[in-house]
Amino acid sequence: MAQWDARVDAALARLEARSLLRATRPIALAPQPAAPETFAGPGPWDRAAVEILLDRHTLLQWLAEGGETVEQEEKLDGNLILFSGNDYMGLSSHPAVREAAVKAAQEYGMGPRGSALICGYTTYHKLVEESLAELKKKEDCLLCPTGFSANMAVMTALGSISSLLAVGRKPAEDERIAIFSDALNHASIIDGIRLLERQQEASVFVYKHCDMFHLDFLLSSCPMEKKVVVTDSLFSMDGDFAPFPELVELRRKYGFLLVIDDAHGTLVCGENGGGVAELFECENDIDISVGTLSKAAGCQGGFIACSTRWKSLIQSRGRSFIFSTALPVPVVASVHAALYVSRKERWRRLVVWRHVQYFATLTKVDITSPIISIVVGSEAAALRAGRHLLRSGFHVTPIRPPTVPPNSCRLRITLSASHSTDDIKRLVDALTPWLPDKYAEQSYATVSKL
């Protein structure tokens, strides 16, 4: 990847010559917080992550979607088990996460309000960046307001290389970045590369979902030198993994920059929670790892784990980072606590994957992750299924266009460490009409051996 390093260094030199390099300057708030309390197993606080109360008026409105008549006196109390969220580790309700947010709020309020490059960056933000860089086995990390803004920042920074090296003119076609994007990548990636296309900084090639033969063909057919492949690591609507062994082989063959969005893999996958790259043992082959703190971390925010040179470029040219207010200090403090708890309470990851095995055993559905996609077809069918699950006591949102293509509407189910095996068993009972085959009954004794 020496060629990419040289390009980034050249772009940084152009920025430095124009005094346009930007750096964060942390405002000192406090020494490193004390290590939070952790636990050897689930506590009553974990249920707060999955037990919810839906406002009755909203519940009746939801049931009425699709033209169904709903009796006002219907005996529905709105107490539901949540199977739609992304809090895979159940950390959003953890005492350590709550206490960290409360303590920081009491001492600093929301903290200094401004973008990270002006006054919004503190020693708390720096601590989280250091923790994430260590987790992702990267040299550095940049904390962003959201995962969406993190992907947008990476994309705009990539495009800026073409413009900076073209020196005051629009880059010629062969000087642009060639971006190869999986067809099912997240909207934040898609919006970012569309922006680069409009700015004539990149040419975009979309390869069929996880189809490495198609990607190989597109790479071999492209004469452009600056190649980038970007992909989700764990796809949010289908629950399948990107084919990392094949991607790594192609990276070694073509020398492209490999960017992944590990939003749904971070903290969930790998022995240490390092994500999908750790799971596939290819962390050194990932150049830039984008992620979010609003899913398995149970908090809010996004991040970009990368080299120091890439961080310098992104924080100087990533518009969604530069022009966004930094995360509030209580949120960052809660993230720091969540990352610590994730390291110490490894049993949470084990519970998640046992739940995946349990669901697969009960239903005979071939699943590989805590994201389970039950495709039901039309919007009307999806709404019917959603209403049935509501009446059965489950919050499972039907996923419809434009999130998914027409006639591929689905029930997207997510499993959390905060769920119990009884939650899952009852959900499967309610799902029976939409499962491919009648699931086989399994005794709890058998499941406990998984």
pLDDT tens readout for residues 377-393: 999 999 999 999 999 99
Q: Enter the DSSP assignment of 353.
A: H
Question: What CATH number has the domain spanning 45-82+346-447?
Answer: 3.90.1150.10
Structure tokens at 124: 């708390």
Strand 177-182, strand 409-414: pairing: unpaired
What's the pLDDT at 71?
Answer: 66
- What is the per-residue pLDDT for 113? 94
Edge-to-edge strand ranges of the sheet holding 257-261: 140-144, 302-306, 288-292, 257-261, 227-232, 177-182, 202-207
Locus of tokens 């490999």 = 258
Can you tell me the mean pLDDT for 275-298? 97
Question: In the chain, what percentage of residues exceed pLDDT 90?
Answer: 83
Identify the band that residue 74 occupies on the pLDDT scale cut at 50, 70 and 90: low
- 261: left (phi > 0), else alpha (psi -120 to 50), else beta? beta
User: Which residues lie below 8 Å from residue 130, measured CB to CB, with a gap of 6+?
Assistant: 141
On whether the CB atoms of residues 161 and 175 are closer than 8 A, the answer is no
How many Cα atoms occupy the beta-carbon half-sphere of 374 within 13 Å? 30
Model pLDDT, residue 33: 80
- Better pLDDT: 31 or 376: 376
Contact 259, 188 (CB under 8 A): no
Structure tokens at 165: 């090296």
Give me the helices (H) in 232-346, please: 244-254, 276-279, 308-317, 319-322, 329-344
Contacts of 326 (CB under 8 A, 6+ apart): 114, 115, 116, 120, 121, 125, 143, 145
pLDDT score of 21 more than 60:
yes
Q: Which long-range contacts (CB under 8 A, 24 or more apart) does 270-279 make?
A: 271/346, 272/135, 272/343, 273/135, 273/342, 273/343, 273/346, 273/349, 274/135, 274/136, 274/137, 275/135, 275/136, 275/233, 276/233, 276/234, 276/241, 276/242, 276/244, 277/136, 277/233, 277/244, 278/137
Q: Which of 283-287, 353-357, 399-403 comes out lowest in average pLDDT?
A: 399-403
Partnered with residue 414 across adjacent β-strands are 371
> Would you give the distance in Å from CA 31 to the centre of its chain?
29
Nearest one of 353, 346, 417, 351 to 38, comparing CA atoms: 346
High-pLDDT (> 70) share of the chain, %: 94
Amino acid at site 224: M
Among 128, 132, 144, 90, residue whose Cα is nearest residue 274:
132
pLDDT at 439 over 50: no
Element (H, E) at 450: none
Give yes or no for a contact between 333 and 103, defined as CB atoms under 8 angstroms apart: yes
Which of 185, 209, 338, 163 shows the shortest CA–CA distance to 263?
A: 185
First-last CA distance in the chain: 42
Q: What radius of gyration, in Å, describes the C-alpha atoms of the chain?
A: 23
In CATH, which of 3.30.365.10, 3.40.640.10, 3.30.70.100, 2.40.50.1070 is domain 97-344? 3.40.640.10
What number of other Cβ atoms are within 10 A of residue 197's Cβ? 14
pLDDT band for 442, please (50, 70, 90 cuts). Answer: very low
Per-residue confidence (pLDDT) for residue 447, from 0 to 100: 33
pLDDT value of position 67: 64
Place of tokens 């990267």: 138
- Residue ranges per domain, the chain? 45-82+346-447, 97-344
Q: What is the dihedral of CA 440, 371, 43, 110, to 10 degrees?
A: -170
The whole-number average pLDDT for the span 101-126 is: 95
Specify the pLDDT at position 449: 32
**pLDDT value at position 70?**
65
DSSP secondary structure letters along 52-83: EE--HHHHHHHHHTTS----TT-----EEEE-
Name residues whose C-beta falls within 8 Å of residue 356's C-beta, 6 or more positions apart in sequence.
367, 368, 369, 370, 415
Total number of residues shown for the chain: 450
